[in-house]
Amino acid sequence: GQSLEQPSEVTAVEGAIVQINCTYQTSGFYGLSWYQQHDGGAPTFLSYNALDGLEETGRFSSFLSRSDSYGYLLLQELQMKDSASYFCAPVTGGGNKLTFGTGTQLKVEL
């Protein structure tokens, strides 16, 4: 079957670094996407890993280990505007459809 695990909530202070872990079990896996969603907003694409290793995009980095079915999103120099829900979403199947879990709610405090 399919499963997806992320912490439900993470709290950190402004300027800090936070890591959001994701473990998945799915068939037809192509890669792992990460999306950010603010309350009432649409999911916004952050990063995609098709291969093992680290992808860096500005303050955000994402890592994938296909053999461990594990990935993480690393957010550096946290800002208040980073308070949002973060979803890891395995990309599967011929349609590259995304499978979302319940996400991780990140709260950034002063």
Partner 1 sequence: DTGVSQDPRHKITKRGQNVTFRCDPISEHNRLYWYRQTLGQGPEFLTYFQNEAQLEKSRLLSDRFSAERPKGSFSTLEIQRTEQGDSAMYLCASSLLRGVRDTQYFGPGTRLTVL
Among residues 89, 90, 106, 108, the one that binds partner 1 under rule CB under 8 A = 89
**Angstrom distance (rounded) from CA 102 to CA 52:** 24
Nearer to partner 1, 22 or 108 (CB): 22
Other residues' Cβ atoms within 10 Å of the Cβ of residue 19: 14
29 scored as a contact of partner 1 (CB under 8 A): no
Instruction: Give 6's DSSP letter.
Output: -
**Cβ closest to partner 1, residue 3 vs residue 77:** 3
The CB-of-11 to partner 1 minimum distance in angstroms stands at 18
Euclidean distance between CA atoms 10 and 20, whole angstroms: 8
- CB-wise, 65 or 105, nearer to partner 1? 105
CA 66 to chain centre: 15
| 96 interacts with partner 1 by CB under 8 A | yes
